[in-house]
Amino acid sequence: MSGRRNAVTVRPVIGITGRRYRLQLLKGADERYGDRCTDSYMSDFASRIAEAGGLPVHLSYDTDATEICSWLSGVVISGGQDVHPACWGGDTAVVRDVDPRTDPLVHDAARDAYEIALVRAALERGIPVLGVCRGLQVLNVALGGTLIAHLPPGSVSHLSTEAAPTDGTADHLVTFEKGSLAAGLFGEHTMTNSWHHQAVDRCGTGLVVTGRTSDGVVESVELPGAPVLGVQWHPEWMKSADPTMTWIVQAAAELLAAHRGEQTHRSSR
């Protein structure tokens, strides 16, 4: 025996956000508990992150955004309802006076506040961030950007009628900027699925647009020099493997390895 210990591979913990609503919305739920809430998460994120070698964990709104970032090596801001226009200077007249716990499609100020705080805390600590659909828009808003409230009909179908999972349709071809993170993952362009009616208007501080469809709609953003990527499509619902899911795990693993290396160096001094 060489006497050398086998290296232990530590998998990066990656937090995934979700939404909250009342149990009464679930078919077959016991009426006695109908007024209580449940936290809901798209399990396809967790499945694909686990397949890529990460340890997925689901984050409730009650998890302190700053404190949880001491435990995480990566963050995924998932899709969902529109970001409240008050967060980015939009027209608040579109907001309906409906409890988001009884309708998961209406604006949810509590979710907005939590995810914006989580993005800012992750960026401050250098934690890799992947924003998906709404998550891209949250990333942009967290950095002071604005949104297009509603995309007009055009040559590209952004609010698809296709069911998930799907690789999208030929009109939804995203072209990437040379030298960008996205281009490194996908090449010059890729076809994706699409289920959104809002999009990035003005980029937040530091963010740059790295991917668009032929009609000019923003489909990917990045923060140069940082492990940050926002995509307007749903990689967790692509029928084919999507490299963004592998990217977030690899980026988180690199951060974890760097931190463990620093700890080992300090303990050996």
Query: What is the domain range of residue 204?
Result: 13-268
Domain count across the chain: 1
Measured between alpha carbons, how far is 263 from 117 in angstroms, rounded to an integer? 27
**According to the model, what pLDDT value does residue 261 have?**
80
DSSP H helix total and E strand total for the chain: 6, 13
Question: Is the CB of residue 65 less than 8 Å from the CB of residue 118?
Answer: yes
Is residue 5 pLDDT above 70, yes or no? no
Q: How far does the chain reach from its first CA to its final CA, in angstroms?
A: 28
- Percent of the residues in the chain that have a pLDDT greater than 90, as a whole number: 92
Is residue 165 pLDDT above 80, yes or no? yes
**According to the model, what pLDDT value does residue 114 have?**
98
**According to the model, what pLDDT value does residue 9 have?**
79
Assess if residue 55 is contained within a domain.
yes
Assess if residue 1 is contained within a domain.
no
- Mean pLDDT computed over every residue of the chain: 94
Measured between alpha carbons, how far is 223 from 239 in angstroms, rounded to an integer? 27
Sign of CA dihedral 180, 181, 187, 191: negative
Query: Which residue stretches of 30-189 are H helix?
Result: 43-51, 65-68, 109-125, 134-142, 181-186
Is residue 264 pLDDT above 90, yes or no? no
Assess if residue 6 is contained within a domain.
no
Measured between alpha carbons, how far is 45 from 245 in angstroms, rounded to an integer? 8
Question: Is the CB of residue 209 less than 8 Å from the CB of residue 142?
Answer: no
Is residue 236 pLDDT above 80, yes or no? yes
**According to the model, what pLDDT value does residue 2 have?**
40
Assess if residue 74 is contained within a domain.
yes
Q: Is 67 a catalytic residue?
A: no
What DSSP state is assigned to residue 203?
Answer: P
**According to the model, what pLDDT value does residue 260 have?**
83
Q: How do strand 208-212 and strand 218-222 relate by DSSP bridges?
A: antiparallel
How would you list the strands of the sheet with 218-222, edge to edge?
A: 55-59, 13-17, 74-77, 129-132, 228-231, 218-222, 208-212, 173-176, 189-191
Assess if residue 220 is contained within a domain.
yes
Assess if residue 206 is contained within a domain.
yes
Question: pLDDT category, 8, cuts 50, 70, 90?
Answer: low
**According to the model, what pLDDT value does residue 259 have?**
83
φ, ψ of residue 210 in degrees (nearest 5): -125, -5
Q: Is 188 exposed, middle or buried (0-12, 13-18, 19+ CB in 10 A)?
A: exposed
**According to the model, what pLDDT value does residue 7 have?**
47
pTM of the predicted protein model: 0.94
Q: Which structure tokens are listed for 179?
A: 């030298």
Assess if residue 5 is contained within a domain.
no
**According to the model, what pLDDT value does residue 143 have?**
98
Catalytic hit among 87, 107, 133, 222: 133
174-230 pLDDT, tens digit per residue, is 999 999 999 999 999 999 999 999 999 999 999 999 999 999 999 999 999 999 999
φ, ψ of residue 135 in degrees (nearest 5): -60, -35
Q: Average of pLDDT values for 150-156?
A: 96
**According to the model, what pLDDT value does residue 269 have?**
63
Is residue 134 pLDDT above 90, yes or no? yes
36-80 pLDDT, tens digit per residue, is 999 999 999 999 999 999 999 999 999 999 999 999 999 999 999
Q: Is 236 a catalytic residue?
A: yes
Question: Is the CB of residue 157 less than 8 Å from the CB of residue 192?
Answer: no
**According to the model, what pLDDT value does residue 6 have?**
39
- Residue 131 is which amino acid? G
Question: Is the CB of residue 225 less than 8 Å from the CB of residue 180?
Answer: no
Question: Is the CB of residue 112 less than 8 Å from the CB of residue 165?
Answer: no
The CATH number given to whatever domain includes residue 101 is 3.40.50.880
Assess if residue 92 is contained within a domain.
yes
